[in-house]
Chain A
Amino acid sequence: MSASVAFGREPALSSRNRSAFRRRLLVLAALLLAALIPRLVCLHFAGVPRDTVTYLACAETIRSGDKEKLDAFPAHTWSYCRLLAFFEPQHMMAAGRMLNLLCGLLLIVVCRQMGEEISGSGKVAAATALLAAGNPFLVENSTVVLRDTPGLLLFAAALLCLLRGSRTELLRYYVLAGIAGAAAVAIRLEEAELLLCGALIAGYQKMECGRIQWRGWFCFAAVLLMTFFVILLSLVPLSASGWGLILDFWMKIRFHLWGSA
């Protein structure tokens, strides 16, 4: 029995419910518009969290090409700072805020899709999007220069792809989940919880469908690892010590696993 039959629902974008799709799109657009209000309020008064200082300084250092100085910054922040480093120093703050604002809005869309994926109900999806739009974490974090919102967006996107992949058993969702998950982990190491989520979803798949799509999960793991190391290796030339970057990541993982570096 397929997962979609087990969930007792139809694909969301069939021709029969095109009008319903348009209605949902309208609701989503209204929600995004509503979500902009607290975010713009927050953006107007946005402060500078303490980690932002590190990120901006790190981005400036990447831009200046000072490898020795860059090694003083924690390597697990480099991937996000690399994004900021595309901009001029005086524009980094604004660019970071815009990036997070965009990610915050996209996260609402992803949350809406997750709600629909989980429940199959448009109302639940709208409620999910509304909750994501008003979530204090997301409102605040989507207006300041922090890694959390881009990381969370990629985490949620990977989770959505895994949920959809486990339902439809299509390989491309696993591949997409691997890419998004790797980018999420590279931006923010805490997003490695995706592996935990993957294990639970796999267990759920086994419980519901009686089998695990090993091919899909293998693809997910392989793409995730490969993409992650590609990102990591692209950062290595920035460092003076080269593979010290890898060591820094390992220390960070150790910190999360055992609580001390």
Chain B
Amino acid sequence: MHYWDSLNSIIRCSFEPVFVIGCAVFAMAFWLPGRQPRIRMLRLLACLAGAMVLWRVVVGLASSRYAANPALLFFLGCAVLVEPEWWPGRLGRWRRRCGILLIGIVVLAGMGRSMKVACNIKDFTAISSALERLTAKSIRPKIIVLNREAARIGYFFRGCPVFDGAVFEKARVELQYSDWENDIVLFVGDPERMKVFSEEFPGGLQADEVFLDSGTGFRIYRRINQAFSSHRALVAGEAAARLAPDECGEDFENPVPTDAVRRPEFGELQKRGLELPASPFPFSAKLIPNPGHRFNHIRDGVIRLIGPESPEHIAGRYSLLADLKTDSGGFNLEAVPLTKGELRGELLFRGGAGARIEVLGIEIPDGSQPRRTVSIARAGCPAPGKIYKLEWSYRAEPERNIRQVIPVLLLNGRIVIDNIRVVSGKRQE
């Protein structure tokens, strides 16, 4: 990547001097004597290109994109330059060589530009897919782009309000009139711009952490209001997002209580044409806060995950037991021991800080083996916004183990579970 970046920088920087030198050549050509028609036409080209360059310089728009018109004339002049009339006397033998060299440079520069575009898109794709995965098409965070380069990221989040932080005043007004207290806001931009923006914003505006660093340009910051007090349930998951809003509670501003939500019958989702991932986890989860602890903002969201609808999944031929591996010891999970033959189990994740996640409604079939199955991929305190991976393994059949990783995002009292169908949720009473 660094090699291509360097090459692209060279190409980008060298092209402008080529353009300027070319115009200078034409400016000199303007003074050359001669009455041949082609020489006269070349003078005209020199005039045009020179005048346009002057025009661009005068109005301060002499960047490469704005210089497209003069560049066009420059390249037209290059073509005329290889004509024999332009190479008097002994210089004539250099005509063909120079023409080939010139054309070769231009073609190579064009190929270099193509490579530069290819380098750019990697950055874009990585960040875009990361954000796509983060939102899981369910959360609609506010996206504030801190510079115009980052705006291209924000555009592709249809449904997410995107504010142009480069136009500071506009973003400030938008935020002041928005429901800032209850919003998740992602800042996309470079660190310098983030610093300026946070300093300019009334009352201060700090990003909690760098959520994603692309390594090649800009970063995604995340800001979550710590005073978040609305205990609304969230739903997530691709299939749930494709359900009707009145059933899946996709509308976060007006969530549908769990009791009012009808659990889809077996085969109903398939009848609607939905492609369901093969997820074998019919369970619900509950967040239980630990009063008095500083991580109290992780609390009382309830989500229900609807399991797969095949008969064998409903039978729940797996065992489930949880344990949390953590490097820092900040967030330990405990599992409620499940016994053989139990048809309904509970899985309790107990954080070291006191927050617990209860996963309920697990059916343990007879003959299954309890296993130490849950781990968290990212260690640390259960700070909001961090993505944890609950790694489940279960024994669907006695002879084989199946492992599945569920990314779990704790967001300020909200739990977002990706890659699994979450149909509804409700506020804990």
Contact = CB atoms under 8 A, between A and B. Distances in A.
Interface of A: 6-9, 38, 41-42, 44-50, 52-54, 56-57, 111, 114-115, 118-121, 123-125, 127-128, 130-141, 143-144, 148, 152, 155-156, 190-191, 193, 196-197, 200-201, 204, 208, 255-257, 259
B29 to A, nearest CB: 13
A255 B72 CA distance: 23
A136 B15 contact: yes
Nearest to B82: A127
B151 A53 contact: yes
B40 A115 contact: no
26 contacts: A7-B37, A7-B41, A8-B37, A41-B111, A41-B114, A48-B152, A50-B148, A53-B154, A118-B41, A119-B38, A124-B80, A130-B103, A131-B75, A131-B106, A134-B107, A134-B111, A135-B75, A136-B109, A136-B112, A136-B113, A140-B113, A148-B65, A193-B52, A193-B55, A259-B59, A259-B60
Among B48, B68, B79, B124, which residue has the most Cβ atoms of chain A within 10 A?
Answer: B79
A119 B59 contact: no
Interface in B75-119: 75-76, 78-80, 82-83, 99, 102-103, 106-114, 116-118
Interface residues of B, number: 55
B106 A135 contact: yes
Nearest to B41: A118
A140 B51 contact: no
B79 A124 contact: yes
Nearest to B65: A148
Interface of B: 11, 15, 37-38, 40-42, 44-45, 47-48, 51-52, 55, 59-61, 64-66, 68-69, 71-72, 75-76, 78-80, 82-83, 99, 102-103, 106-114, 116-118, 120-121, 124, 148-149, 151-152, 154-155
A118 B85 CA distance: 14
Given A46-B117, A48-B152, A152-B68, A131 B103 contact: yes
Contact of A152 (B69, B106, B110, B155): B69
Given A131-B103, A196-B52, A139 B110 contact: yes
A119 B48 contact: no
B41 A119 contact: yes
Given A52-B152, A134-B106, 5 more contacts: A121-B83, A125-B79, A137-B68, A193-B52, A193-B69
Contacts of A136: 11, 15, 106, 109-110, 112-113
B121 A47 contact: yes
Closest 6 CB pairs of A and B: A134-B107, A45-B118, A128-B79, A136-B113, A48-B152, A127-B79
Contacts of A197: 48
Contacts of A196: 48, 51-52, 55
Contact of B68 (A53, A111, A141, A259): A141
Contacts of A256: 59, 61
Contact of A191 (B61, B69, B148): B69
Given A190-B66, A193-B69, A200 B110 contact: no
A110 B259 CA distance: 68
B69 A119 contact: no
Nearest to B151: A53
Contacts, number: 162
Contact of B120 (A47, A115, A155, A191): A47
Contacts of A49: 152
A114 B76 contact: yes
A140 B106 contact: no
A232 B47 CA distance: 31
Among B15, B76, B108, which residue has the most Cβ atoms of chain A within 10 A?
Answer: B76
B39 to A, nearest CB: 11
A254 B47 CA distance: 24
Contacts of A44: 118
Contacts of B15: 136
Given A7-B37, A47-B152, A190-B66, A137 B71 contact: yes
A45 B79 contact: no
A48 B59 CA distance: 27
A148 B51 CA distance: 20
B216 to A, nearest CB: 12
Nearest to A205: B44
Given A47-B117, A204-B40, A135 B71 contact: yes
Given A134-B106, A139-B114, A259-B60, A115 B155 contact: no
B48 A128 contact: no
A82 to B, nearest CB: 19
Contact of B76 (A46, A128, A139, A143): A128
Contacts of A48: 124, 152, 155
A56 B155 CA distance: 9
Among B40, B60, B107, B114, which residue has the most Cβ atoms of chain A within 10 A?
Answer: B114
B30 to A, nearest CB: 11
B33 to A, nearest CB: 14
A197 B78 CA distance: 18
